[in-house]
Amino acid sequence: MASVHHFDHNHILSLQDLSREDIHLILQSAESFKEISSRSIKKVPTLRGKTVINLFFEPSTRTRLSFEIAAKRMSADTFNFSASTSSAVKGESLVDTARNLMAMHPDVIVIRHAHSGTPYLLTKHIKASVINAGDGTHEHPSQGLLDLMTVKQRKGRIEGLKVAIVGDIAHSRVAHSNIVGFSKMGANVLVGGPATLIPSGIEKLGAKVGKTIDATIVDADVVMVLRIQKERQRDPLIPSFREYANQFGINKKVLTAAKPDVLVMHPGPINRGVELDPDVADSPRSAILDQVSNGVAVRMALLYLIMGGD
Amino acid sequence: MAARSELLLKNGRIIDPVNGIDEQGHLLLAKGKIAGLFLKGKKAPPPSQNRREIELAGKWIFPGFIDMHVHLREPGEEYKETIDSGTKAAAAGGFTAVACMPNTEPVNDSETVTSYILEKAREAKARVYPVGSISKGSHGEKLADYGEMKKAGVVGLSDDGRPVTNSQLMRRALEYSSNFELLIISHSEEISLSQNGVMNEGYVSTKLGLRGIPKAAEEIMIYRDLSLAEYTGNPIHIAHISTKESVSLIRRAKERGCLVTAETAPHYFTLTEEAIDQYNTLAKMNPPLRTEDDVAAIQQGLKDGTIDVIATDHAPHSVLEKEQEFDIAANGIIGLETAVPLTLSLVRGNIISAQRMAGLLSSNPARILGVQGGSLQIGRVADVTVVDPEREFVFSADEVVSKSKNSPFLGRKLLGKAVLTVLEGKITFKDL
Ligand SMILES: [Zn+2]
């Protein structure tokens, strides 16, 4: 792939580490790989002989499958380890697990973990490249990239767009990656939701804070809705799902404040009727299905670029 | 070489805040006591058979440093530190005495554990002053047996690491401890606010996706503790303060006449939360590292006397506890061997004087705990720390004396070092 910009990262740990040029290059590569996915023979030999390990300490069929398909389409050998099925992982410290995995000489380890920063710990103990597939409440860089890809496809640009992110900003690694990614690419990012779920210092990460939902989504080109988890009622961060749906849920009426052609996104899985009204989720304004199909292409691009493709 | 009973420290800069001394001179130690001070150009006594002389041009001679907040891990966690290894680290860092916190296994809430520690400490390289627990087992429910522990030798009381959440218990502890003149040392933390937090709450915790601890968790409890100390009329010592508002709460309480003293640790006047970048568990401790504003306020508190003591909160942990996910890695860092250069940097930065440094590291902790030392006055115990302010060294894991190596300062080039430590007239560490 011809490109002026040289991709110079061994690991994909966070969008904070990537430059604007890096992100451009990833999105550009992903577009080319998307074309492969539409062919009848979907395999290319690019990563033949390479080993990719999916190391998932949290269940996530969607993200794991997406990485697995991406690796297979590039002819890499893939292995899956999950904390729930593998005795090699159960009860072992992460550092021990990493050392054991090195016996397989992996080229890439894709890791999902409930604790923030775990991918960084992994890089200190192994030689392979590490891709963060979601760590605690830190980041989910491949999800952020595919959201950027989806918006670019649907809106033709990212620069200058108004992107509103609504809901549990504090606990959402997707929100963190999106705030960093969209603001880095020149969008104006606003976050809104219950003040209990807006983390301190979020402005410095690249987002303005809207006091009300209306103020957050007014004139928005994109509204990203985050999943609200049941346990937030216990913490106590919100009074109830019912109150949340009434005050902060995104429905057709609320969306009238946004631009008429607003694009609605959700990293899934959706609590229909809580953070997002079914009418909106299934409407043409929703980009939820594109988000899934772009995932494989973005992950192919990441594997390709960290393995030295240029 | 035959053992010589006297020690003459020649041509050093002698610093004693108790007597307002800061000048060149010689110091004579004999029979375990400070035996002579030769100042204002007075000649040193002539050489003698039973007197060893050490030339100390360019070095600073302080009353022995006392670290009033360390964790020696014995009994129970000897794989992290022992009384032997911890006091060797103390001597190497320039300390002649340490007060050890009771969060051992079992907790030091009894005569038995106190005596065990003191027995182990008999041959140690530094004096060991056990601190007993405020509550039985540090469970925060019932008062521990203060009278029994006092008799066995504790110098103060603390539930360090497990803050006293029950205000009634804290009130009664302040009252009951007064019968035995034992100081309450409070680890002030409102745990319903700090919850499972692992670092300071703010932009950096948001960026890293780590659960934050708001500064208010510390400040609210300090306010409670000050309020109870004033109400009961008893003294209180606030451990390891880390925020700007904590300094100002204590400053105002002192102005009102509250019997409060306070300590901070070198990391709180040296590092900010940015040290955690990339999930460095060696910068994880409780209270957590804060922001630049807080560091500046802590330095100001050290300068104006609001903060009385620099104590290290020396908290050894093995690689097992630290080489982990940040969320589950243990809190705490070792501090005995870096306190001197880090404090000296305040002197070099004209934030504190050498006399104030001696106050913070020696005479104030001696006074607050009611223990010997803290001055170079003739007749006092011959506990002495000699520092070379110009000695540069790289703090490397290989050279750490403590059994554990968990320090965020590893690999740093540090300026200034303890080069001679003398305990009751005997050299416990020498690197001249
Ligand atoms: Zn403490």
Answer yes or no: B313 catalytic: yes
Please enumerate in sequence order all residues whose Cβ is within 8 A of that of B26, keeping only pairs 6 or more positions apart, or say none: B8, B9, B10, B11, B12, B36, B37, B38, B42, B44
CB contact under 8 A, A136 and B209: yes
> What pLDDT does residue A155 have?
95
In the predicted model, what is the mean pLDDT of chain B? 97
Give A84's pLDDT tier (boundaries 50, 70, 90): low
Instruction: Find out whether B55 and B10 touch, Cβ atoms under 8 Å.
Output: yes
Instruction: Note the pLDDT tens digit of each residue in A193-214.
Output: 999 999 999 999 999 999 999 9
Mean pLDDT over B189-206 rounds to 96
B334, B93 Cβ separation under 8 angstroms? no
pLDDT at residue B60 tops 60: yes
B57-72 mean pLDDT = 98
pLDDT tens for each residue of B252-284: 999 999 999 999 999 999 999 999 999 999 999
Q: Tell me, what's the pLDDT at A85?
A: 62
Q: In angstroms, what separates the C-alpha of A34 from chain B's closest C-alpha?
A: 31
pLDDT at B2: 44
Burial of B33: CB neighbours in 10 Å, binned 0-12, 13-18, 19+? middle
Positive or negative CA dihedral for A257, A258, A260, A264? negative
Q: How far does residue A126's CA lie from ligand 1's centre (Å)?
A: 35
The shortest C-alpha distance from B203 to chain A (Å) reads 4
Count of helices and strands (H, E) across chain B: 14, 18
CA nearest to A117 within chain B: B279
**pLDDT at residue A97 in the model:** 86
- Interface A–B counts its CB contacts (< 8 A) at 74
CA nearest to B272, candidates B309, B312, B238, B244: B244
Are A117 and B278 in contact (CB < 8 Å)?
A: yes
User: For residue A35, is pLDDT > 90?
Assistant: no
Among A144, A146, A152, A203, smallest CA distance to A176 is for A144
Assess whether the previous peptide bond of A236 is cis (omega < 30° from 0). Answer: yes
* pLDDT for the residue numbered B40: 86
What band does A284 get if pLDDT is binned at 50, 70 and 90?
confident
Cβ–Cβ of B209/A16 closer than 8 Å?
no
Task: Flag if A138 and B323 touch (Cβ within 8 Å).
Answer: no
- pLDDT tens across B300-319, in order? 999 999 999 999 999 999 99
User: What's residue B246's pLDDT?
Assistant: 98
Indicate if A63 belongs to the active site. Answer: yes
Q: In terms of Cα–Cα distance, which of B286, B311, B386, B299 is closest to B345?
A: B299
pLDDT class for A41, splitting at 50, 70, 90?
confident
> Which of A13, A89, A115 should be substituted to probe chain B, the one whose Cβ sees the most B Cβ atoms within 10 Å?
A115
Quote the pLDDT of residue A95. 87
Would you say residue A229 has pLDDT above 70? yes
ipTM above 0.95, yes or no: no
CA of B164, closest CA in chain A: separation in Å? 23
Give the residue-averaged pLDDT of B217-224.
98
Average pLDDT over residues A270-295: 82
Q: Separation of B419 CA from ligand 1 center, angstroms? A: 29
For residue A94, which of B329, B123, B336, B90 has the smallest C-alpha distance?
A: B329
pLDDT, mean of residues A252-279:
91
Q: What predicted TM-score, i.e. pTM, was given to this entire model?
A: 0.94
Angle at alpha carbon of residue A43, lines to A42 and A46, rounded to 5°: 140
* Residue tagged active-site, from A34, A64, A140, A285: A140
Tell me if A200 and B208 make a contact (CB, 8 A cut-off): no
pLDDT over threshold 80, residue A92 = no
Chain B hits for A138, CB-CB cut-off 8 Å, are 208-210
The model's pLDDT over B396-411, given as tens digits with 9 standing for 90+, comes to 999 999 999 999 999 9
Supply the angle between the helices A173-184 and A20-37 in degrees, to the nearest 10.
110
Interface of chain B against chain A, CB under 8 Å? 201-212, 278-279, 320, 323-328
The verdict on a CB contact (< 8 Å) between A139 and B209 is: yes
- What is the rounded average pLDDT of the residues B224-252? 98
Mean pLDDT, residues B162-169: 96
Catalytic choice (B308, B313, B383, B388): B313
Predicted local confidence at residue B1, as pLDDT: 41
Q: Is A173 a catalytic residue?
A: no
The predicted pLDDT at position B143 comes to 97
CATH topology assigned to domain B6-61+380-430? Urease, subunit C; domain 1 (2.30.40)
Which residues of A are less than 8 Å from B279 in CB distance? 116-117, 120-121
Of the candidates B207, B278, B326, which has its C-beta nearest A205's C-beta? B207
Rounded to a whole number of angstroms, the distance from the CA of B328 to the nearest CA of chain A is: 9
- Residue A99 scores a pLDDT above 80: yes
Decide if A140 is catalytic. yes
Q: At what angle do helices A288-306 and A141-155 cross, to 10 degrees?
A: 120
Q: Give the length of chain A.
A: 310
Hey, where are the domains in chain B? 6-61+380-430, 64-369
Partners of residue A170 in chain B, C-beta under 8 Å: 206
* E runs forming strands in B31-150: 33-38, 51-55, 60-63, 65-70, 95-100, 127-132
**Cα–Cα distance for residue pair B154/B100, rounded to 1 Å:** 10
Quick one: pLDDT band at residue A2, thresholds 50, 70, 90?
very low
Looking at residue B273, the DSSP 8-state letter turns out to be: G
- CATH fold for the domain made of B64-369: TIM Barrel (3.20.20)
Q: What is the pLDDT of residue A270?
A: 87
Percent of chain A residues past pLDDT 90, beyond the cut: 72
